[in-house]
Every structure is written in C-alpha cells, then in structure tokens.
Structure 1
Amino acid sequence: MASSLFLVSITLVVLTISDVDLGRCGPTVVLPLRQAFPAMYPVHLNKLQAWDRVRHTRVFKHNVGGGVNISVVYDDLFEHIGLYVTKVMVGSPPREFQLLFDTGSDVTWVPCISCSGCPRTTGGSPVSFYDHGSSSTAKVISCKHQLCTYNITYADQDKVFGYYVSDQIHFDMITRQFASSESVIFGCTTYESGMITWSPYKGVVGFGPGDASIISQLSSRGLTPKVFSHCLRRDDNGGGVLALGEIIDPRMVYTPLVPAMNYNVDLQSIAANGKLLSIDPAIFSTSHDRGTLIDSGTTVAYLVEEAYYAFVSAINFTVSKSVNHSFRAGNQYYAVSSSTSLAEAFPPVSLNFAGGVSMMLKPEEYLLNISYYKGVTTWAIAFNKADGGYTVFGDVVLKNKIIVYDLARRRLGWANHDCSLPLNVSVTFGKDEGPKRRHQNGSSSSSDVHVKLLIGIFFIHFKCWSQSVM
C-alpha cells in the first residue's frame, strides 16, 4: 500500500481533571493520549479503509485467549490513520514505549529484545525493546512448566506472537510523568509480520472486555472500578484523555452493552434530519456473524449494506442544492464552497439505541475532510459500506464526546463535550454503589492476590503512588 509522509508539529494535550480519586489507592492518575492522525487534516480515505479492514479481521474473530486517567496525544511522523497512542515506561529500570490504546484488544504487548521481524527503527528513531532479563521486577509467566504464549492474527499475513510476563508499567501522567507503577501481565512479542511492522506504535495497551485487559486485571482486585472513559478532541491538536473511572456529566445517557466479546450495543434505527430511514432493525442485532460495535481503533464508521445505501440516499436527498456530490471508487463525495457552513448544508443525524437513547451527530461527525482547492473543500461520507454483517462506529463518531465503558453495570454511555475542557471523574466500587467523589491526601498501599487469567492462576501486584491532581 502506497504511503506518504505528514510532517506537522507534535502537541501534547494537557487537560485538568478535578474532583477525582483512586478510592483505596489515592488520587486519580491522569495520563496523556496522543492521536496518530491530526483530526482536521486532509486524509486518504482508501488508506483509512485499508487499515480498518485489517483491524476488523482480528476484532471480529477475536482469537486471543482507583481511577487512573491516561492522556491521549497524536504522533504525526508517518501517514497516520486515526489511532491513539499513550506513552508508558516498562520494567525496572523503565524503558519507554508508545502503545496503541485499543478497545478491541484484551492483550497488552510490547516488542521483546529477541523479536524476529520487528523493525529496529521507526521514523528514523530507534525502536525500544523489552528485555525481562534486565528488569529487576520482571517475572516470566509459566503454564505447566512451559512459557504461556499468545498468537494474535490481524489478517492473513499480519501477526504477532510471543509469551507472557509480569512487570511494572509506569504511566506517563499529565500532572506528573511516570508517578504511577503497577505490575501487570502483558505480552513480550517475539515475532511480527505484515502491516504491523510499519505502524507508528510499537505495542498495544488492551482495554477490551476480556480478563486479560488492563482494566480487567486492575478491577478484579478492587484497585480500580470496572469502568473506563475517554474524551477525544476534534481540533487540530487531536488527543484527549483516557480515565480509569467514570467521567461524570449530567447529560450522560446509557444504553446496555450486549453480551459479546467486544463492546456491542443494540442499534435500533437511524434518522437524518429527524426522519427515520427505512431500515430493518434486525440487520443491527447481535449474533455470531453480525452486530453493532463501538471501537476506538476503527478510524471511520461502517454500516451494513442495506443501512449504508439508505443512509447515503438520505444525505443526498437532504443536502443543500449548492453542494455538488458524486459517487466514485465506492465512496460518496461532496464539494462544498468555503462560504457554506456544514451545518447549513447537511442534515443532523441521529443514531437510536436500546433504552430510548440517541447519539446525535453533526455533519463533521459523519463527514471527512478530504482536500481543499481554490475555495472548495471536498468532503466524503465517513460511513462506509461494511464487508460483512457488523456495523462499527469508530473514531470519527466518538470525537468530542465523553464515552463511558461501564463493564460492572454492562452499559455504554456518552455525552457531547468539548474535550479540551476540564472533566469530572468518579470512582465507584461495586455494582450497586452510587458515584463516590472525594478529595483525598495521597496514600500508598500494595497487595497480592490470585487472579484467574488466561490458562492458569497468576499473581498480579499493584503499587499505588501518592499524587496531587490539579
């Protein structure tokens, strides 16, 4: 796949998180996320779709068997595609890694020093490799006297595999860098192949719903609630914040999470300009080969065929007559004069979910800025036709919204929010407890428990560091 180079300045996004705590482990930790693709820059739609196809091959097969706030920023040394990464330090002494924040993965992994097929440089800079033999806090996880291994397939030729270890991970927090450390189980990758080798990130931090994910490991010990949230910025700086805890907003609405291996929800209908589209709701229902997913790692959005054509027809029918539109190479495009606002030219869209709640989308939340030439901007519909039975709402839909993944209550929530503004995070332990917010002077604690994870019973150690939160 041809690639080009985007060179723009890297900006770390600093957000103030107030009224937060880690329950038993002190104040909430805030870490920056950075976006691998600037939100408002022109994009190559075919490249976004190519990345998503590779990703969906893995996500749909799913082959892998105290509040903490992590910031999200963007890395633009490559041609990037709507990915979010966060900086972590692994081991003792710590080594720096740029890890993809991924709600579609359970396993967290980094490249091992013995990795075959792993590139030694990225963007002209050397790649960090993890060496558990050089870390005083590392433990190799064994299964019946053998290494516990993993094999993750991203597509036919895109794979990573390796073995599990336990070691400390130090998060890059907004308020004070690397002030938190936890020992968790993660993968030490010994082989990479395919597209993964040229990606800007070198590893994954998994926030899927499975037992192996970071959120599941920590919440299983009562160290964080079994809920996390993110708020991703739409402006040129991109980035945002990831919180291990529930971001509180009075406008928040929730829909049930459907039992599945991913974050599935029950989409019931779609409306454009207040008019329901003629779509059979059964095409959105969850089964072994269909469903509706919320996935931060998908760059755009995908509708099953019947819904896609109904959606495009509705937009074309209601779009302003001053907008020229065309259909080419399987995508719908619109030429909009710089004197015309998107809100005037395009209709609002409503995604309607179980529980009687809706996600309202403005035009910039279902369109992509493709190019600009002589006063005319070309936009493309960011809702593409799915290859199979899965409807997927990705990065383009999730921006400038608080998204809450509440695994304890089996629900997903959202509220519109300018993600450059402060946020309130609540830490709640226990399924039936109400939100708890309190200021707490930092505390320090440590504990060991047995957690049933992967094949056997493994030890996970968590250490909380005291920290002041702005």
Structure 2
Amino acid sequence: MSAFPSLAIILVAVLHLTVSGIATASHPDFQLLNVKQTLIGTKKPTPLKTFEYHEQSNASESDQGKWKLKLVHRDKLFSNTTTAFHDHSHRFLARMQRDVKRVASLVRLLSGGGGHDGDAAYEVNDFGSDVVSGMDQGSGEYFVRIGVGSPPRSQYMVIDSGSDIVWVQCQPCNQCYRQSDPVFDPANSASYSGVSCTSSVCDRIENSGCHAGRCRYEVMYGDGSYTKGTLALETLTFGRTVVKNVAIGCGHINRGMFIGAAGLLGVGGGSMSLVGQLGGQTGGAFSYCLVSRGSDASGSLVFGRGAMPVGAAWVPLLRNPRAPSFYYVGLSGLGVGGIRVPVSEDTFRLSELGYGGVVMDTGTAVTRFPTLAYNAFRDAFVAQTANLPRASGVSIFDTCYNLSGFVSVRVPTVSFYFSGGPILTLPARNFLIPVDDVGTFCFAFASSASGLSIIGNIQQEGIQISFDGANGFVGFGPNVC
C-alpha cells in the first residue's frame, strides 16, 4: 500500500461521546492517525530540573475559584538522577516492564481484597496541581509537584489513583533511593507533628505499629517496592492553597521504582488518600487531564466541587468493598469501526464477591481485558486494518504495524460502551501508539489472564476525567486537554 503524502490532515486528539454529540472525524466509523506528528513524541525528553518551591510557578486560578497544578507526561521529563538517556524504544520497553509488574500487583491485591474505610474532617477550598508523568524517572506514570512542610519544600510526587497513602522520603534517611529534589527534613518544618499511637488516624493505617509513642506505618507494593517510617500530620501546599493537618507517611526506609520522585500522592477511594482525608469539603471530587505524548502542553489535577465540569458524560462509579481504594466503572462492551464486538457484558461485570470488574487506573499504562474479550477485540481491529503492513509483536503487544512509509493512515474507531448508554470513542493516538522512532505502531491493548479489566492511562490521555465521589459518578469530557 502506498503512502498518502497529499493528506496533510493532522489528527487532533478529540473525545467523542455519543451522549454529548461531540464528533471525531468526518466519517463516524473511521479516523486519521497522523504518523509523522505522533512520532514527534518519540524524541528524547527534556531534562527534569530541580528547583525550590514558588507559589506562583505551579498553579493558576480559574474563574471558578479552583486551583490547578500542572501535570506533565513522564515521556517529556528527564532526570539526571537516572541513566535514562535512551531512545524511545528503550523507554518504551522499560515502561512495559513496569506495567507488567503494576498489573500483576493489582491482580494479586484485588484477588485478596482488603482495605480500610473511614471518615476525615479536614477543611480545604478547591485547589489543584499540574501533573507530571514519571516514566523516565523510573517510577510511577505521572508526577505532580507540591509543597511539603512549612516553609514549603517543592517535591515531585507520583500520582496514583489506586493507592491511599500519601508519603515522602524523610531525613534521617536510613535507606532511601535517589530523588530529584533534596530529601524532606521534618526538622526544618514548623508544621510537622508526629501522630501518637493512640490516635484514631493511626488506627486507620494497615500494618501500623508503635515506636517511642509514635505511629509507625509500612506500605508494601506488589512490585517489591516499599516505604516504612513515621506517620505525621503536615501541611501541603498546592499553588497558593495551603492544606493543613494532612496525614502523611514520613519514610525513613524506602526502596523501589520511585526513583526521581520524593514519594507518592494517593488519590484512591479509601479514607487515608488525599481525597478521603479532605472528606466532605471536596465531596471526593477531583478532575485530571493526562497530557498526550509528544505535547509541550501541561495536563492538570484539580480538587474540589468546582472541578466538576458541565456537559460531561457521567458513568456510575461502582464500589468494591474488598478494594475500596479502586475506582470501578461498568463496561458493557467494546466497539471497532462503529460495530459492537461480540463479547458478553458478563465478561466485565464486578461480581458480588468483589472479583472481576473494570478499574480505572492512572498507574497502569496499557488497558487490559480478559483474554477472550481481548482476542475478539483485537481480531475485529485486525479485520478492519488488513490493508496496513503488519510488523512483529513488541513486548506485551501482539498486533503491530510498519507505518514508516506513511504520512497518515485511516483506521477504524475504537469505542468503550459503558453501562447505561454512554459511548467513549478514543482518539486514534490513544490506541495505535509508536513503540520505536522508526515507524512501528502497535494496538495499545493487552490481554489479562485474570477476570480483571483495567483502563490504563494511555487510553485516558487528552480526555478530561472527573470523579464525583459524593454522588458516585465518573465523567468523561466535555473538554479535551
């Protein structure tokens, strides 16, 4: 098949929600992937710089009174604390290796269940932060930069919608990995206060302990990473918004895949996440836009009722008592080229015992579906792209194409059918992605041997996603980012 040099159309990452009538392309069942434009994102990332916290630098005030912090894709960052001077292929393969570990840990966790719930009473106005992706930092997928302590010390934090603990590495550091910013020293913070063993906050921590009258915490992650230290109440600063008495872990013994970041900002559904601690003041409401690969723009993470958009397509959130940290959604089916794939809705159902279901996760890159569903989904896509030259599979991807001679290609639409009617049609760059810098693109989904489905961050990129915890809904759109 010949290339299409006359097609000078640049695909804009447009969200199509059939319930809101937002269109994607001129033909409802096909769209264009601009190969050359997408490959721009495979260039070497820019250096990640260490700098002190300035309240004006990380936030902007909206006309609704909420605060946003910048969110940047980790592909665009580069840390001199790592040896990440690699080409796109190396970065991609490293990302897939981390992703396999992430998914394996989620499957183990959700198979075993567990978690605590509870209430919190911290006051805060609507606020937010820019988010930075952390792939080249050797840790989580996306980073956010916030101030910790008084005066605030600026730190990069991994954003994780599947975790509940907020923690940073702390001095004295008995065992710490390398991070981009100086390690936080609680001795230099006027607002740091250790939590006593008898505190109700300590009771809400799994695997809590007691040492010298202070509450000790320990968090183990599925990939072997861990953090151990003292639980404390501390002030966090988001732009010009100051949030006092946030329970955080002050980690003195830390190890794992967090290199570059100072720690982790859990925004899961449990009571000890930042969202849970803010409680009724934000109503569990937050919104994020994960910036698309290759873009110089910033994404955002925003907290508060003011973050809830008008005109979004809302899908009910499902709660799993076995895993209260995770955000489940009802998925009824998949579509390719406007045709629904023959997969039973039961394949995606969350059982009464808490197994299976569909989790939305910022920490997983590639969307996973149970094997039978994935195979039918992939085969439907392959059948409608028979005119594109195939390439060998790469890493976890078994369906790849050689698009090195193309300027743009016409591909079928890919859609998620949610329970209740909404249909999310993905931008082409969210399901056919470059895996090297020479034109190999792969169908960015994978199979899961378990019954668990995960909607990963590649598929979420460029789409405004909002969580309304008080009313139990997740919204898609109406804005793109």
What TM-score comes out, normalization by structure 1 length?
Answer: 0.75
Q: Give yes or no for the alignment of 1:282 onto 2:346.
A: yes
Percent of matched pairs sharing the same residue = 25
Query: How far is 1:57 from its partner?
Result: 4.3
Corresponding residue SS for 2:75: coil
Q: Which residue of 2 aligns with 1:302?
A: 368
In structure 1, C-alpha distance between the alignment counterparts of 2:412 and 2:249, rounded to whole Å: 46
Question: Equivalents in 1 of 2:355, 2:245: separation in Å?
Answer: 36
State which drifts further: 134-143 or 6-15: 6-15
Alpha-carbon spacing, 1:140–1:63, altered in 2? closer, same or farther (3 Å): farther
Output the amino acid matched with 1:38: K
Query: 2:157 is matched with which residue?
Result: 99
SS class of match (1:164):
strand
Q: Does 1:230 align with 2:292?
A: no
Residues 181 and 330 (structure 1), Cα distance of their counterparts in 2 relative to 1, 3 Å cut = closer
Hey, what does 2:24 align to over in structure 1? none
C-alpha distance 378-156 of structure 1, shift in aligned 2 (>3 A): closer
The one of 141, 166, 169 aligned to 2:195: 141
**Equivalent in the alignment of 1:323:** 389
In structure 2, the partner of 1:168 is: 235
Task: Answer yes or no: is the 8 Å Cα contact 1:96–1:128 preserved in 2.
Answer: no
Distance between the aligned counterparts of 2:303 and 2:456, measured in 1?
Answer: 20
- SS of 1:104 mapped into structure 2: coil
Q: Is the contact between residue 369 and residue 378 of structure 1 (CA under 8 Å) also seen in structure 2?
A: yes
State the Cα deviation string for residues 228-258 of structure 1 (Å, max 9, x = none): 0011221422531111135454541111111
Cα gap change, 1:417/1:265 in structure 2, threshold over 3 Å: closer, same or farther?
Answer: same
Corresponding residue for 2:222? 155
Which amino acid letter does the alignment assign opposite residue 328 of structure 2? N
Change in Cα spacing, 1:79 to 1:219, as seen in structure 2 (3 Å) is closer
Q: Determine helix, strand or coil for the equivalent of 1:254.
A: strand
For the structure 1 residues 136 and 330, does the alpha-carbon distance in structure 2 shift closer, same or farther, using more than 3 Å as the test? closer
Change (3 A) 1:295 1:329: closer
Equivalent residue number for residue 243 of structure 1: 302
Which residue does the alignment assign to 1:87?
145
3-state DSSP class of the match of 2:416?
Answer: strand
Report how many aligned residue pairs link the two structures: 389
C-alpha change, 1:136 and 1:201, in structure 2 (3 Å) is same
Contact kept in structure 1, 2:129 and 2:146, CA below 8 Å: no
Q: Check conservation: 1:231, 1:401, Cα contact below 8 A.
A: yes
**8 Å contact kept, 2:59–2:69:** no
Cα gap change, 1:394 to 1:15, in 2 (>3 Å): farther
User: For 1:3-152, what aligned pairs fall within 5 Å after superposition?
Assistant: 6-9=44-47, 18-21=62-65, 28-38=66-76, 42-43=88-89, 44-60=91-107, 61=109, 65=116, 66-74=125-133, 78=136, 83-119=141-177, 121-122=178-179, 127-144=181-198, 146-152=213-219
The residue aligned with 1:266 is 330
Name the aligned partner's letter for residue 140 of structure 1.
G
Q: Distance in 2 between matches of 1:82 and 1:152?
A: 16
Amino acid at match of 1:8: T
SS of equivalent to 1:53: helix
Aligned-partner residue type, residue 139 of structure 1: S
| In 2: Cα distance, 1:349 partner to 1:301 partner | 13
CA gap of 1:208–1:337, structure 2 versus 1, over 3 A, is same
1:213 to 270, 273, 277: 273
Equivalent runs, 1:391-430 vs 2, <5 Å = 391-415=453-477, 417-419=479-481
Give structure 1 stretches of 5+ with no counterpart.
22-27, 420-470
Matched residue of 2:466: which SS? strand
**Contact 1:257 1:412 (8 Å CA) reproduced:** yes
**8 Å Cα contact 1:10/1:74 also seen in 2:** no
CA change 1:243–1:156 in 2 (3 A) is: closer
Measure the CA separation in 2 of the matches of 1:184 and 1:302: 34
Q: How has the CA–CA distance of structure 1 residues 240 and 270 changed in structure 2, closer, same or farther, with 3 Å as cutoff? A: same
Distance 2:297 2:454 in 1: 21
What letter matches 2:268 in structure 1?
A: G
Once residues 263 and 413 of structure 2 are traced to their aligned partners in structure 1, the CA distance between those partners, rounded to angstroms, is 37
Residue type of the alignment partner of 2:100 = R
| Cα distance, 1:141 vs structure 2 | 0.7
**Structure 2 CA distance for partners of 1:30 and 1:228, relative to 1, 3 Å:** same
Change (3 A) 1:20 1:46: same
Distance 1:186 1:32, change over 3 A: same
After TM superposition, give the deviation of residue 366 of structure 1 in Å.
Answer: 1.0
Amino acid in structure 2 at the alignment position of 1:53: V
Greater fraction of residues in strand: 1
Q: CA deviation at 1:59?
A: 4.0
Q: Name the aligned partner's letter for residue 252 of structure 1.
A: A
- Distance in 1 between the 2:370 and 2:167 partners? 32
Contact kept, 8 Å, 1:350 with 1:359, in 2: the verdict is yes
The CA deviation at 1:79 is 6.0
